[in-house]
Amino acid sequence: MDEYYGDEEEYWEAVEEPENGGGCLSPLLIPPLLVVILGVIFSSFMWGLSTPPRSDVEFASGKREGANHPNLAPLFTPEIDFWGDQIVEWAAQNGLDPNLVATVMQIESCGDPRALSGAGAIGLFQVMPYHFEQGENPYYPATNALRGLNYLKTSLDTANGNYRLAFAGYNGGIGVIPKVEAAWAAETVRYVYWGSGIYADALQGAVSSARLDEWLGYGGASLCAQAHARQ
């Protein structure tokens, strides 16, 4: 979105009163101009007919050439690459692997800073409201990362570095880490399945991830489309 940072009156005067005598066209120029306009409209219409619509999965998993952050595995969706610099910074502040942070953001919000779950989890890392201090804005990315990644670090430390258990703790609460998997909630089991698979591929520096593509097809694509629209 284009923004104007100058004086508001000067802006509207520039819009309403252009230089060089206003906006009237010579009658001699109108017919050729109409031909050009109609040609552009027709070409755009034909291009739209000839271009097949992209599915949600194709949209979310499509890579922008050269868009991947150098410190992240190239498998993440463009909506995660968008936050690449911040992910690396936040990971360093919390002593975490950037690819682990990117994996959590991928499956939590796909990079949507205004994401809100039915359970009330908020923002990029889907942090529950009770983790924030009074006066904090939970939608502010740096604040959301501070609280979310602090909990992720606690989960990883409690799991003695076992990232699979850390995913379980992040989703189901630190208390689930010592429990047998059969006692985990179904949502936590799914979360660990998605997170551990994607992160394992990221650790290998893979350019794609079958587990990530599976997550996109399971419903993640719509989440990424929403994130893309808000970035």
| 181 assigned to active site | no
- CA–CA dist 121, 72 (Å, integer): 25
> How many C-beta atoms lie closer than 10 Å to residue 82's C-beta?
19
> How many C-beta atoms lie closer than 10 Å to residue 76's C-beta?
29
Following DSSP, what letter does each residue of 127-173 receive, concatenated? B-GGGSPTT--TTSHHHHHHHHHHHHHHHHHHTTT-HHHHHHHHHH-
Q: Which of 216, 215, 179, 180 is nearest to 197 (CA)?
A: 215
Please give the torsion angle defined by the CA atoms of residues 105, 116, 177 and 194, in that order, rounded to the nearest 10 degrees. -50
- CA–CA dist 139, 124 (Å, integer): 8
- CA–CA dist 112, 108 (Å, integer): 9
Q: Single out the catalytic residue among 10, 13, 65, 108.
A: 108
Q: Which of 89, 107, 116 is nearest to 230 (CA)?
A: 116
Q: Which of 101, 135, 104, 140 is nearest to 122 (CA)?
A: 140
Distance from the Cα of residue 15 to its chain's centroid: 35
Active site (catalytic) residues: 108
